[in-house]
Amino acid sequence: MTESNNSVDGQAVGGVEGADRTAGAGRSPHAQQVIRLADNMLRIAVWPAAGTVVLGAVVATVWVGLTGLWGALVGGVLGFSSSLVTLWLMRKTSGMQPMAVMAVSLGGYILKLLVLFAAMTLLGGISALHSYALAFTFLAVVLVWAGSEVLAFQRTKIPTIIPESSS
């Protein structure tokens, strides 16, 4: 276990890595809420996405055989990885100022898109992987994960402060 010495506006961010994230020791209230949201997104999304990979693998195997199975599994791994990177990015930027988070999010999204484009392009030429099984399973996992993240966001109670109007 290592200790993090990050700070934002004089407030400690991070705490002890590997410690209970719900304790929020040393984290700003905003960072605690973002991490709680990321935890809920992971908890809610992982099983539907895993089921989507299994379904994609079964359908692809029946549809085109062993190359379909391998294509679907690789597509599922890519979809999972892409989605987990988003949650990792949420955790790493949870203590930053909102404008910095937006900039990092946009940069991370663009980088993730370029990496995925390169990976899909390179994997499309491998004969052991059925390209349609790979692409459709990847797409299905990403869509199911995104839908699950929306559901998690709706279910997570995040305190919101609405200032009174000065009229």
Instruction: Choose among 115, 125, 127, 130: nearest CA to 75.
Output: 130
Residue 35, amino acid = I
Predicted pLDDT at 25: 56
Helix runs in 65-130, H state only: 66-93, 98-124
Any idea where the domains of the chain sit in the sequence?
Answer: 25-153
Condensed to tens digits (0 to 9), the pLDDT of residues 39-55 reads 999 999 999 999 999 99
In this prediction, residue 20 has a pLDDT band, given cuts at 50, 70 and 90, of very low
- Report the pLDDT averaged over residues 94-109: 86
Whether the per-residue pLDDT at 133 is higher than 90: the answer is yes
